Amino acid sequence: MDMNCNIGITDKFFVNYMELIRTKMLPYQWRVLNDEEDIVIAKERDADYIPAEKSHCVENFRIAAGRTKGHHYGMVFQDSDLYKWLEAVAYTLERVDDKYLRSLAEEAVDLIAEAQEKDGYLNTYFTIEAPERKFKRLYQSHELYCAGHFIEAAVAYYQAVGNQKVLDTAVKLADCIDRHFGPNGIKGYDGHEEIELALLRLYEVTKEKRYLTLAKFFLYERGKNPEFFQQQRDTDPDKSVLIEGMDGFRPSYYQNHKPILQQETAEGHAVRVAYMCDGMARLAYLDNDKDMLEACQRLWQNITHKRMYITGAIGSTVIGEAFTADYDLPNDTVYGETCASVGLMFFAHNLMKSQEKGEYADVMEKALYNTVLSGMALDGKHFFYVNPLEVVPEYSHKDPGKSHIKTTRPSWFGCACCPPNLARLLSSLNRYVYTVKNDTVYANLYVSSWGSVDIAGQEIFLKQTTEYPKTGNIELEVLTDGEFGIAMRIPGWASGYKLQVNGEDCAIQPEDGYVVIHRSWHKNDLISLVLPMEAKFYQALPRVREDIGRVAVQRGPVVYCAESVDNGAELELLRVSPDMELQEFSADKEFGGAVILKGKTEKVQLPSDEKLYAPYENVSLQSQDLKLVPYYCWGNRGENEMLVWLYKK
C-alpha cells in the first residue's frame, strides 16, 4: 500500500472489474502460463519470429530450477509474465483473502526462488540457454527488465501477505545487480527501462539506500554514451540475436540518444519511455531531485500535448512500437499498446507526488477509462495489445501494414506483456484515488471508496460515494475530526461544476485543476461535487492531419465510438453534425449498464455509377440513426468496423 493512503474500493463499476480479475482472469492467466488452456495464441503482428505456440512461462522456471529438463521457450523476457501475474495476485489478496490464488502465488514464489542462482542472478532464459552471455547483450536481453518486474511483484506480495521469502529473493537479486553495475562495474543499463522504478520501490520498503543510488545511476547514466549498446554488441563474441527484428534500432529506440535531462521529446519505444518517465518521477519525488522533475515535466508536456491520442493511447507506429513526431497520430495504424497507457498512468501518478496538477490526474483517468479498459474484453479472458481508433476488418486482414490492428481481442499473445499488466493495474486502483501532499489530501479519481489517509501524522478516514462516470455526482464524507486540506479535482473536460460543503456553496476558485478546501473538519462533514456529464463533440488541434474534418464524442472522461454492428457497415460514410443532440441510455446488459448514446445523423448516398473519381459536387445525404458505445466496450460483439473520429458534415 502506498505509505500514506489505505483505501478500499467499493465502487460497483471497478469492483466488478476487480472481481472479474480475481475470479476469472487470474485463474485463467495462471492456466495459460502453465499451458493448460486450449487456446489459440495470437502473434501481435505478422512476423514469423514471434514464438506463439504456447506460453511455457512456468515450465521455463521449472527447467531453470532443475525440476524438469528441456529448453527455454518464448520471448527472452517471458519470465515477466509470471511476475506481473504475481503482482496482480498480491493486490487482489490485499482486498480479498482468496485461498486458491494465495496457494498459487505461494507455489510461484517457491518456484521462482528455486530458479534463482546462488549469487542472486535470476532469469530463466540465461540460466537455461546462455549462462555465458549474462549482462552482455543488454539492449536485447531484458535481464534487468525481468528483474524489475520480479522486484515489483516481490514488494507487492510481501506487503500484501508478509511473505519474507519473496522479499529476500528480490533483495538477493537486487544485490547481484548492484555488484555488477555502477561506476565501478558495467557502466550501462537495460535496453528496456523498468529496473529503475522497481529499485525505487524496493528502496521504499527496505530503506536500503544502495537501491536508490543504483536506480539513480541507471537513470543518469542512460544516454551519456549513445553507442553503449552497439559497443557491447560488438564485443560479444556470440553474434546470435536474442530477439529477432531488434537489431536495426537506433539509440533513440532505447531512449539512449542523449542524457535523460536533455531529452525534450518522447522518442522511441512507447512502453520504454513510459517506464523510464515513471522511474524519473519516482526519483524526483524520493530524492527531491528538481532537475529530474523538470525533465519529467518536459517529457510529460511533449507526450500529452503533442503525441497522445484522445483515448490516452501513446505510440503512433508499429515499427518499434514507438513514438514518431509531434501531431503524427494516425488512427488506423496506431500502436497504442495497452502497456504504454498503463505506464502513462504510472507516470502521472508518480508525478503527482511531487507536484499536484489536475492535468496529471486528467490524463490518468483518460488512459484508464479508455485505452486501459479497452485492453480487456468484458469476459476477462480476451485482450487487446494494440488499441486502434479505427478498424476495418478487411484492411486488417489484407494489409500487412495493419496486421497489428486486431479486429477482436485474442485469448493471448506470443508476447504477452499486456494482459497481466492490465491485471496488476486494475487490481491496484485503490492506490490511485488520493495523493497526500503536506497537509492536504488530493482527490484524483472519483471512485466509491472508503479508508484512511495519513495527513501530517493524522489518520483521517474518508468515504467517497459516486456512480461516476455514469453520473457526475460525487460525495466525499469526512469521518475524522481534524484541520487539513481536501482538494477536489475539477477535470479539464468539465465545462462547469457545483461544489458545496455541508450544503453551502464553496466559492474557492480552482488552482491547477483542484479546489483546495482548508478548514477544521468535523466527523460527517460532507463535500458534494456535481460535474456536468453531458456528451460533447471534440475536435483535434488542426495540426493533427488525421483528424481534420472529424469529431469525436466524449462524455466525462469516457470516449465513444461507432461500431458497424449498431450503425451498419461503412462507418466512413456517416456524416455527423457537432450540434446534433445525443440522448443517453443506460446500456444493454452486455455493457454492464454503461451509458450509450443515440442520435439522428446522416449518411452519404453513394453515386449510382460508383465512379472512383469524378468532378467535385456535394454528396447527397440520407438520414440515419447513430448509436455510440463507450470505446472501452468496443469489439465485444464479434468482428466489426469501429470508428472514434467520425466525419463531420
Q: Among all residues, which ones are annotated catalytic?
A: 321, 417
Whichever of 2 and 321 has its CB closer to ligand FUB, that residue is 321
Q: Which does residue 381 bind out of ligand FUB, Zn ion, none, counting CB within 5 to 8 angstroms by kind? A: none
Nearest-approach distance from CB 44 to Zn ion, in angstroms: 8
Nearest-approach distance from CB 343 to ligand FUB, in angstroms: 8
Subset of residues 345 to 374 that bind ligand FUB, contact rule: CB under 6 A? none
Residue 27 near residue 423, CB atoms below 8 Å:
no
Grid cell locating 361: 490526474
Query: How many residues bind ligand FUB, per CB under 6 A?
Result: 8
What residue spans of 3-98 are helical by DSSP H? 12-20, 26-33, 57-64, 79-95
Nearest-approach distance from CB 355 to ligand FUB, in angstroms: 27
Q: Which stretch binds Zn ion (CB under 5 A): 186-194, 211-219, 416-424, 486-494?
A: 416-424
Whichever of 417 and 559 has its CB closer to Zn ion, that residue is 417
Strand 642-643 and strand 390-391: the pairing is antiparallel
Grid cell locating 23: 475470479
Q: Which does residue 77 bind out of ligand FUB, Zn ion, none, counting CB within 5 to 8 angstroms by kind? A: ligand FUB
Nearest-approach distance from CB 321 to ligand FUB, in angstroms: 5
Whichever of 7 and 418 has its CB closer to Zn ion, that residue is 418
Nearest-approach distance from CB 246 to ligand FUB, in angstroms: 9
Q: State the binding string over 298-327 for ligand FUB (x if CB under 6 A, else -).
A: -----------------------x------
Which residue's CB comes closest to Zn ion? 339
Candidate residues 58, 339, 348, 571; the one interacting with Zn ion per rule CB under 5 A? 339
Nearest-approach distance from CB 177 to ligand FUB, in angstroms: 18
Q: Does residue 469 have a cis bond before it (omega within 30 degrees)?
A: yes
Amino acid at 174: A
Decide: is 158 part of the binding site for ligand FUB (CB under 6 A): no
Whichever of 145 and 632 has its CB closer to ligand FUB, that residue is 145
Nearest-approach distance from CB 192 to ligand FUB, in angstroms: 5
Based on C-alpha coordinates, what's the Rg of the chain?
25
- The DSSP result for 541-563, as a single string, is -TT-GGGTTEEEEEETTEEEEEE
Decide: is 418 part of the binding site for Zn ion (CB under 5 A): yes
Q: Which stretch binds Zn ion (CB under 5 A): 208-216, 414-422, 424-432, 460-468?
A: 414-422
Q: How many residues does the chain have?
A: 649
Decide: is 345 part of the binding site for Zn ion (CB under 5 A): no
Grid cell locating 426: 486494475
Nearest-approach distance from CB 253 to Zn ion, in angstroms: 16
State how far the Cα of 255 lies from the Cα of 196, in Å rounded to an integer.
14
State how far the Cα of 443 lies from the Cα of 507, in Å rounded to an integer.
18
Whichever of 77 and 493 has its CB closer to Zn ion, that residue is 77
Decide: is 271 part of the binding site for ligand FUB (CB under 6 A): yes
Q: For 551, phi and psi rounded to 5 degrees?
A: -135, 150
Residue where the block lists cell 456553496: 505
Q: State the binding string over 220-239 for ligand FUB (x if CB under 6 A, else -).
A: --------------------
Subset of residues 50 to 79 that bind ligand FUB, contact rule: CB under 6 A? 77
Q: What is the dihedral of CA 501, 505, 511, 512, to 10 degrees?
A: 70
What residue spans of 449-594 are helical by DSSP H? 564-567
Grid cell locating 10: 467499493
Number of C-beta neighbours around residue 584 at 10 A: 14
Q: State the binding string over 177-196 for ligand FUB (x if CB under 6 A, else -).
A: ---------------x----
State how far the Cα of 339 lies from the Cα of 347, in Å rounded to an integer.
12
Residue 311 near residue 644, CB atoms below 8 Å:
yes
Nearest to 441 by CA among 399, 483, 409: 483
Nearest to 201 by CA among 91, 82, 284, 282: 282
Residue 538 near residue 545, CB atoms below 8 Å:
no
Subset of residues 566 to 625 that bind ligand FUB, contact rule: CB under 6 A? none
Q: State the binding string over 399-438 for ligand FUB (x if CB under 6 A, else -).
A: ----------------x-x---------------------
Residue 317 near residue 266, CB atoms below 8 Å:
no
Decide: is 166 part of the binding site for Zn ion (CB under 5 A): no
**Residue 645, SS3 per DSSP:** coil
Candidate residues 170, 214, 339, 377; the one interacting with ligand FUB per rule CB under 6 A? 339
Residues lying near Zn ion in the complex (CB under 5 A) are found at 337, 339, 417-418
Residues lying near ligand FUB in the complex (CB under 6 A) are found at 77, 192, 271, 321, 337, 339, 415, 417
